Amino acid sequence: MPPVVEIRNMAGSVGQEILIQGWVYNIRASGKILFPLFRDGTGIIQGVVVKSAVAPEIFERARILTQESSVRVTGKVRADHRAPGGFELDVSGLEIVQLVSAEHPYPITPKEHGVEFLMDHRHLWLRSARQRSILGVRHEIIKACRDFFDDRGFTLVDTPIFTPAACEGTTTLFEVSYFDDKAYLTQSGQLYNEATAAAVGKTYCFGPTFRAEKSKTRRHLTEFWMIEPEVAFARLDDVSELAEELVAFVVQRVLAKRRPELQALERNIVNLEKCALPFPRLSYDDAVEILRTKGSGIQWGGDFGAADETLLSEGYDRPVLVHRYPSQVKAFYMASDPARPDVALCVDVLAPEGYGEIIGGGERLADYDVLLRRIDEQRLPREAFDWYLDLRRFGSVPHAGFGMGIERVVAWICGLEHVRETIPFPRMLSRLKP
Ligand code: 4AD
Ligand code: MG
């Protein structure tokens, strides 16, 4: 048996007899020569099956191949700069592992399909070259985030998914029954990160988070993945720098390692290359002024909508950090600016090209009495937060952190219209299947 070689590694096997294991991507025939395209999850290679050069049963097997049938193919690798991927396989042997029936052909053909149809077949759609490119970039972004924090001495601490209380507002909580009680799916690991930051200094969590968002926008999922660092003794400026360094690092990493994927997605790489440090900073106050000159109806005190974020990012070729939003639009745990008690010591990072908020964070309330008052004002159940208040009783320190939504970053870096393609199996207001 010749050795199994991944299609991405063909360069090392030119002139040799090898075996590839994969699926039929497409098939083209030209008289007595067949040109099946094979894919194996790492790339695509064109096979060449010449009737006069193979045993009759091999040619017959190749002739009846259908899209997405699974195969094991032997042949000799030949470099051909005209071929997709740069190589061709002169097929000498072919084993069909499972033949897709011609009566029930693979539902996704090379022609155009509607989005709902593709989403219904997401489990199969993932096999397309475009979706594989997105999965590759997503993987690289996640790995880059972890490397970034690991190399800076952060400890990864996993936070729970079943939680007793809200972190980001009670209107977007998913309630689940929990034996004789009820629980909520986590909206953010932050409150737990604050506890572990006091244990290890610098921590981060990375996991799924849930928001019962009734919004049908191109930026909202009900289940998304968030990477959240939290740092003891850090202030707003410290986490603002950490956030911009993280974003620049991730973009650089993807540019360095995933060019082919970005090219396959037809991403304008020049725009990503502009993403150099430092990123511009803008106060909420100034942002409101800018928005009003651009025709937005925003009043001081209101939160930015998606359209406002797009208008704001238009002025910059790289992400922009917007800081000090009014406390009234932000979560209960946000520290207020001592110089301006009506604004929070918070920062949002807005991606360019209209992708909107990718990061939200800031400094946390460290004072026991102020925090207790906030919990009461926002009518949050005190009992659920007694452990959180403990953190302000036993060695409270200033601390800060943020959360970055992975899918929004994937959408921006890949240049996608909608977050539904950024996660293998998206969960949205009207989608729970497959
Ligand atoms: O701004 P958010 O709500 O902040 C928090 O959850 C903080 N507790 C994080 C922290 O400080 N540790 O969410 C953070 C990020 C947003 O900037 C966005 O990227 C993403 O999470 N996000 C969503 N992504 C997809 N779908 C949704 N429904 C999202 N909601 C937030
Ligand atoms: Mg936010």
Give the model confidence (pLDDT) of 45-59 as tens digits: 999 999 999 999 999
What's the mean pLDDT in 147-166? 96
What's the mean pLDDT in 256-268? 97
pLDDT class of 11 with cuts at 50, 70, 90: very high
Joined tokens for residue 179:
């034996």
Counts for the chain of helices (H) and strands (E), in that order: 13, 18
What's the mean pLDDT in 249-253? 98
Q: What is the reported pLDDT for 108?
A: 97
Residue 209, strand partner residues = 224
Tell the residue number behind the tokens 């991507």, with chain if given.
25
Q: What is the reported pLDDT for 384?
A: 92
What is the Å distance from ligand 1's center to 186 Cα? 12
What's the mean pLDDT in 368-382? 95
Query: Which residues make Cβ contacts (< 8 Å) with residue 359, sequence separation at least 6?
Result: 243, 247, 347, 348, 349, 402, 403, 404, 405
With left for phi above 0 and alpha for psi between -120 and 50, is residue 86 left, alpha or beta? left
Helix axes 129-151, 406-414, angle to 10 degrees: 120
* 7 pLDDT higher than 90: yes
* 338 pLDDT higher than 90: yes
What is the Å distance from ligand 1's center to 359 Cα? 7
What is the Å distance from ligand 2's center to 376 Cα? 22
Q: Whose CA is nearest to atom 24 of ligand 1?
A: 405
Q: Running DSSP on this structure, what letter comes out for residue 90?
A: E
Q: Running DSSP on this structure, what letter comes out for residue 11?
A: G
**Could you give the residue ranges of the DSSP H alpha helices within 84-128?**
115-120, 122-125
pLDDT tens, 409-423?
999 999 999 999 999
- Indicate whether residue 407 lines ligand 1 (CB < 6 A): yes
Rounded percentage of the chain residues whose pLDDT exceeds 90: 94
What is the Å distance from ligand 2's center to 348 Cα? 7
* 84 pLDDT higher than 90: no
What is the Å distance from ligand 2's center to 207 Cα? 17
> Cα torsion for 102, 108, 109, 115, to the nearest 10°?
150
Q: Which residues of 305-337 are buried (b: 16+ CB within 10 A; e: fewer)?
A: ebebbbbbbeebebbbbbbbbbbeebbbbbbbb
Q: What is the reported pLDDT for 263?
A: 96
**Could you give the residue ranges of the DSSP H alpha helices within 152-205?**
190-200
* 213 pLDDT higher than 90: no
pLDDT class of 169 with cuts at 50, 70, 90: confident
* 369 pLDDT higher than 90: yes
Strands 162-163 and 223-232: unpaired
Q: Whose CA is nearest to atom 22 of ligand 1?
A: 405
* 85 pLDDT higher than 90: no
Q: What is the reported pLDDT for 219?
A: 95
Joined tokens for residue 317:
């070729």
* 31 pLDDT higher than 90: no
Rounded percentage of the chain residues whose pLDDT exceeds 70: 100
Q: What is the reported pLDDT for 412?
A: 98
E strands present in 386-431: 399-405
What's the mean pLDDT in 128-157? 98
Quick count: other Cβ atoms within 10 Å of Cβ 360? 21
pLDDT class of 170 with cuts at 50, 70, 90: confident
Cβ burial of 216 (10 Å; 0-12, 13-18, 19+) is: exposed
Contact 106, 124 (CB under 8 A): yes
Average pLDDT, the chain: 96
- For the CA of 333, the nearest atom of ligand 1: 8
- Indicate whether residue 211 lines ligand 1 (CB < 6 A): yes
Contact 357, 309 (CB under 8 A): yes
Can you give the pTM of this predicted structure?
A: 0.97
- For the CA of 193, the nearest atom of ligand 1: 12
pLDDT class of 357 with cuts at 50, 70, 90: very high
**Ligand with minimal distance to 428 CA:** 1
* 292 pLDDT higher than 90: yes
* 293 pLDDT higher than 90: yes
pLDDT class of 4 with cuts at 50, 70, 90: very high
Nearest to 227 by CA among 299, 158, 131, 303: 158
Q: Whose CA is nearest to atom 7 of ligand 1?
A: 403
- For the CA of 172, the nearest atom of ligand 1: 28
Query: Which residues make Cβ contacts (< 8 Å) with residue 56, sequence separation at least 6?
Result: none
Q: What is the reported pLDDT for 110?
A: 82
